[in-house]
Structure 1
Amino acid sequence: MLHRSVLLGGWLLLISPSLKSEELPPPTSPSGLSEADQEKIKKVVQEHFNSVVLVEGDQSAGSGFVAHADGKTWVYTAAHVFCGNKKLSLATADGRKLKKFGSFQASRDADLVRIELLDEFDSKVEIGDPGVAQVQDPLLAVGNSGGAGVLTVLSGQILSLGPAQMEVSAGVIQGNSGGPIFSGESGEAIGVVTHLVAAREDLWAKDTDFSEVRRFATRLDRAIEWDEMPIGRFLSEKSRLDEFNRNTQVLFALSALDPGQAGLRLNTRVSEEGPTLLSILSENEDKRVVSELIEMNRSLGERSLRTSESDLKKRFSRFYSTALRDLNKDRKDLQPEGFSGYNRASARNALEWRDDAVQRLERVSSAIR
């Protein structure tokens, strides 16, 4: 028999699919919520537990939930839960797979996406009205804590609010990302779990709340601007940036080479605490310019490549020109404006790093001509 596992205040309960949602026990209250607040949260659990989904991808696992907004039914989650995956599976705790989807939208300014759900789904979740969240309000977080494939139920309070974020006391961890923050007052979805901030260890944070891990969610009770795009394009953004940055790293490594008759000193580091040239080149042997460089270096080390200092410089100058042409041809295809809001800043940073790497290598190439 399949069971649902729900973590309630440290107790792991196995819940049979035959158990009705109104029979779900309330979560315990580690933050000292009043009995009245606990009763409100119990009602939210009963009404909304089945609207939360587990998100499983080939690169990550997280959470999401089904809600009504703008006249449609959507699955909401954090952008980073979807991003980078080639395959995704969305399912409820009782094993129901969600399969039919429509338009995909990404927030312009937050770690937040939603995809239209075309499957029949009886969800009572509504998005909170603007400004409904208030500091010290009771809340409920439900999600795939630790990516363990079970939904946990965690209660808490809103600790602080910003224009686009809220800080919560509920003990969410990795895997809760993308899961809902339900208002303990109204049961509306008021946030989506996004990230944790590590405890501070500096003198100023000692003996304060900031010496503990802090937990944050994107606010839903605000006006959100959405960009609609093909989900395939969104999912591929991370791999595109990763490959672009791999080429940039190789260009940085090439700019740090010190060619000599005995070969290259590959134990040099690109930066003070960065990787060695050897590690960068070894990780990118699949690139033609890198394999050619490694072969050239092997020949120099074995003295099978006999050349004068002047000819060696000319050889490396030509090699640098080839590397610049081959490794920098992807620059014209990386347009930050074409990326989702979540990845746009990363795309801009990637271009800045690339320009720096190209300038360095061009200076080195000019110097040895």
Structure 2
Amino acid sequence: MNKRWLISLLITLVLVCVGIFGAFFIKGHMSNKLDEPSTILAEGSVVPEKNETAVEVDTKEVKDIIQDAQKKVVKIELENGSIGSGFLYNDMGDIITNAHVVSGVKEVTIITSDEQRFTGTVIGISTDIDIAVVRVDGLRGMEPLKIRMEKAEIGEEILALGSPLGLDNTVTTGIISGVNRDLEIEPYSYKDLYQISAPIAPGNSGGPLLHGKTGEVIGINSAASDVGTIGFSIPIMNVLSMIKGWSDTPMVDLPGVD
């Protein structure tokens, strides 16, 4: 009886030792296996490093985009009472607008979102492309709107800012509803325009068209259809070299100005 009891005890001890060893072996072996890339992936697939992080898109809330942009969008007034819009392009106080907004004048009044008034001087204007630049010394050093150097696509969300009918700080929303549109509105020729669904009206001219996710400028609002809510915006990337040229070397003689 004692002999059987002793044999049973020895067998139990052996089984316990084997179990403990097996548990440690499986734990150590499997933890290493879990860190290895899966063999289920197709051959040639790229497996990211463990510390690799996803690329983040710099998107913002719409209300934050609007609040930030409105500080850099201005109303432009002429002595004859006509109005338009514009936006800060660089830290030299240069404002981008449409040529038809400031045509025939040298100086205009610039009104900011907080109702400050400054004198602006036209330093560049085209007679065939509806683009002009106004320099406002009182706005030097202000942070400008960011420019997006990518072509917008149909369906992208947009924001149109400006002063339609004199209503300051107006924002309308929509999408890019068409691209590569051409128009002729004497004396200007409009090529490769964005068609937009965001409603715009007289006074919006020269205001920025913003990308709805990033707040970057993608266009200059320039014309609206008489029928329906169809507007047209000049892609900023198409005219940026002209604008930069005027900022670097302002025009001395303006067309139509004595």
Counterpart position of 2:235: 219
TM-score, with normalisation over the residues of structure 2? 0.62
Q: Does 1:106 pair with 2:106? A: no
**RCO higher in 1 or 2 (8 Å CA, sep ≥ 6)?**
2
Partner SS for 1:154: strand
Cα displacement (A) at 1:108: 7.1
Q: Give me the whole-angstrom Cα distance separating, in 2, the residues matched to 1:183 and 1:83.
A: 28
**Match 2:222 to one of 166, 185, 194:** 194
Cα displacement (A) at 1:61: 0.6
Larger radius of gyration: 2
Q: Give me the whole-angstrom Cα distance separating, in 2, the residues matched to 1:223 and 1:176.
A: 19
1:187-213 deviation line (CA, Å, top 9, x unaligned): 1111111111223xxxxxxxxxxxx35
- The one-letter amino acid paired with 2:195 is E
Q: Is the 8 A contact 2:74 2:111 kept in 1?
A: yes
Counterpart position of 1:138: 157
Q: Give me the whole-angstrom Cα distance separating, in 1, the residues matched to 2:224 and 2:70.
A: 23
**Match 1:48 to one of 53, 69, 76:** 69
Counterpart position of 1:95: 115
Q: Does 1:65 pair with 2:81? A: no
- How many residues are paired up? 183
TM-score, with normalisation over the residues of structure 1? 0.44
Q: Is the 8 A contact 1:55 1:88 kept in 2?
A: yes
- Aligned runs of 1:1-369 on 2, under 5 Å? 40-59=61-80, 60-68=82-90, 72-85=92-105, 87-99=107-119, 104-107=123-126, 110-119=129-138, 120-131=140-151, 133-148=152-167, 150-162=168-180, 164-199=192-227, 212-222=228-238, 224-226=240-242, 228=246, 230=251, 233-234=254-255, 236=257
Unaligned runs of 5+ in 1: 1-37, 200-211, 238-369
- The one-letter amino acid paired with 1:47 is D
- The one-letter amino acid paired with 1:67 is Y
Q: Once superposed, what is the RMSD of the aligned Cα atoms?
A: 2.8
Cα displacement (A) at 1:77: 0.5
- The one-letter amino acid paired with 2:86 is G
1:5-50 deviation line (CA, Å, top 9, x unaligned): xxxxxxxxxxxxxxxxxxxxxxxxxxxxxxxxx9632221121111
Q: Is the 8 A contact 2:120 2:134 kept in 1?
A: no
**Percentage identity across aligned positions?**
25
